[in-house]
Structure 1
Amino acid sequence: MASKLMHVVQYSSYGKGAANLQHAEIPIPTPKKGEVLVKVEAVGINPIDYKIQGGFLRPFVPKKFPHVPGSDIAGEVVELGYGVTKFKKGDKIVAMLGSATGGGLAEYAVAKEEMTVIKPYEVSAVECAGLGTPALTAYQCLITAGVRLDKTGPPMNVLVTAASGGVGHYAVQLAKLGNTFVTATCGARNAAFVRSLGADEILDYKTPEGQALISPSGRKYDAVIHCSTGMSWSTFNNVLSLRGKVVDITPSPSALATFAMKKLSCSKKQLIPLLVSSKAEDLQFLVKLMKEKKLRTVVDSRYHLSKAEDAWAKCIEGHAVGKIIVVA
């Protein structure tokens, strides 16, 4: 198989967005020790993908050009590398390739055995390809904030910002598995959608109350899952409970400075920048929730690999409701 060619979407330099994506034919990779070769059926597009293209982690990522982006995939195992014991040819799987490594926008991709899990037949490849980075981010945010997803924890008021987006729409659903009251921010046109995910009350981010994050019911927040940008600490400080935590998935330099200051001053209120760690056990847990119909991927739009640049442009626009998926 390694001698055959596959279709990929790649870029050869930083910048220029969707216009810089190129369709190419390259050799199908050969899985190394501890790796599996996957026939890709679906791949989720994430904001980190276009941010890397824009030079967000320059000059460290990508490691080389041309680079095939895409890290969250679902598909079928077609070849095993040396030493692989968890999988066999024909297994339907979900895998995280890592944003720095990429490789997902292709007909075939190589995945590490330790970051690959079996896909239940009850859940589609499209739904599972959405999980990976955003669902893990939402899950780890909630755990960091102290929310227990089995309802064994104390009652908590949780705020999810940008609740209709990729991370946000998972965060609302996961938060409701805990003993929580969830307030969610979104635009007025997405209010019904976010409520359908389980949110108890909605804040329109365009209103004065929404910009100030003031709960319609007057609650103070024990945890904020911050999936948006451009909020100052003073805004959070006014709406947090005595020991409230803000978990920030895209911390700015000022947010990092606030984090350090709060640590040094031993403040009861905290701002915590989240560094997502790719854990197969977390991915397995999320896939299990999907199988049990306790979690769902809402698909904003899907595009064929031949139109991947359109999916890329849609992601850059920033108004997707749920996930953007590319199918091979």
Structure 2
Amino acid sequence: MQGIIQQNYQGIEALQIKSIEEGPLTPLSVMIQNKFVLVLPYDWQTESGALTEIRPVQLPIVIGYGFGGIVEQVGRLRHSSLIGQRVIGMQPNGSAQEVINNKIPPLLFKVPDQVTLADATTLIGGADAALHAIKVLEVKSTDTVLVTGASGGVGTYLIQLLKLAGTTVIALASAENQTFVRQLGADSVLNYEADLAAQFSNSRQPNKVIDTVGQQALLQLISASYGSLRILSLSTTHFLPTKPGQDFRFSNGSIGIGGYQHLLQLLATKQIKAYIQATYSFEAVKKAQMIAKNEHSQGRILLTF
């Protein structure tokens, strides 16, 4: 079968499509015909060596983390009712391959009939990160939350989940994505391509920040522009706030089985919506990653198998 391989830390251009072994069916195996893999910052940051501190790996590796596919076979310790089911899941040793041999039961979830497999796949590394941030920050309806990267794969879900909680949302987005982010439910939208300091001084004071971008200069400006703040970043591990009464933490933990089931139910009942910017064949992984990394986003990009 074919897979996308990272051979070295030379970045996106060094990715290769290679034949790899499928691996044997074990008692714990669920063999899944892969259909969708997410294009995540996690991938291209790993490919450039930027995540070696928090994600040490021994190269070469198969890239990718989340996936969506259809179960073809199961081992004797996995339930036969899974065969033929549409599932999403996580594959820590690499998901960007034609067949997934999933051996960790808690990392696999059935997709409700009302939800497309592509939409469900966007929950991985998107809505799960958003829900985790909301829980860690203990967001309440009385809070005003500033969201960076509001139009991206995490930001689109953050805004929707925050509004479900009754929270006031201030969103940062590019000029071309202002209308899109307002349609997601943001109460106010600031243009990060214009004079942000002036916009911050004229906007409502947030008491919490959820950062999906990880840019130190942006965090410094936010910190300097407001008073008391709780800042949580999903993208950078270190930041020193500039004022008293402000605190910072990085977090990337799990939402657990119940969290994923909750998100799938929210999709099924149309309380939240998946936003897919584009899909590309896995052979076009370099193009897809370059677009996701360098251009303005509206949701998540997927690779198809």
TM-score, shorter chain, exceeding 0.5: yes
Q: Deviations over 1:296-327 (max 9, x none)?
A: 22111110122222212222325322101011
Structure 2 unaligned blocks of 5 or more:
none
Letter in 1 for 2:188: E
Letter in 1 for 2:60: P
Asked if the contact 1:251/1:273 (under 8 Å) is kept, the reply is: yes
Equivalent-residue separation in structure 2 for 1:136 and 1:181 (angstroms)? 20
Q: How does 1:123-142 map onto structure 2 within 5 Å?
A: 123-142=115-134
Asked if the contact 2:212/2:234 (under 8 Å) is kept, the reply is: yes
| 2:299 maps to 1:310 | no
Tell me which residue corresponds to 1:107.
Answer: 98
Alpha-carbon spacing, 1:26–1:234, altered in 2? closer, same or farther (3 Å):
closer
Asked if the contact 1:246/1:271 (under 8 Å) is kept, the reply is: yes
| 2:157 maps to 1:197 | no
1:214 counterpart SS class: helix
| Alignment equivalent of 2:204, drawn from 202, 219, 223 | 219
Q: How far does residue 66 in structure 1 lie from its aligned partner after superposition? A: 2.8
Alpha-carbon spacing, 1:213–1:167, altered in 2? closer, same or farther (3 Å):
farther
Please report the TM-score for the alignment, with normalisation by the length of structure 1.
Answer: 0.84
Q: How far does residue 81 in structure 1 lie from its aligned partner after superposition? A: 2.8
Tell me which residue corresponds to 1:301.
Answer: 278
Q: How far does residue 143 in structure 1 lie from its aligned partner after superposition? A: 1.2
Tell me which residue corresponds to 2:69.
Answer: 75
Alpha-carbon spacing, 1:24–1:73, altered in 2? closer, same or farther (3 Å):
same
Q: How far does residue 154 in structure 1 lie from its aligned partner after superposition? A: 4.2
Asked if the contact 1:30/1:37 (under 8 Å) is kept, the reply is: no
Between 290-299 and 50-59, the greater mean CA deviation after superposition: 50-59
Asked if the contact 2:74/2:80 (under 8 Å) is kept, the reply is: no
Letter in 2 for 1:160: V
Q: How does 1:139-158 map onto structure 2 within 5 Å?
A: 139-147=131-139, 153-158=140-145
Equivalent-residue separation in structure 2 for 1:268 and 1:35 (angstroms)? 50
In angstroms, what is the RMSD of aligned CA positions?
2.4
Letter in 2 for 1:125: L
Letter in 2 for 1:114: P
Q: How many residues align?
A: 302
Structure 1 unaligned blocks of 5 or more:
1-5, 148-152
Please report the TM-score for the alignment, with normalisation by the length of structure 2.
Answer: 0.90
Q: How far does residue 65 in structure 1 lie from its aligned partner after superposition? A: 3.2
Equivalent-residue separation in structure 1 for 2:152 and 2:99 (angstroms)? 28
Q: How far does residue 63 in structure 1 lie from its aligned partner after superposition? A: 3.7
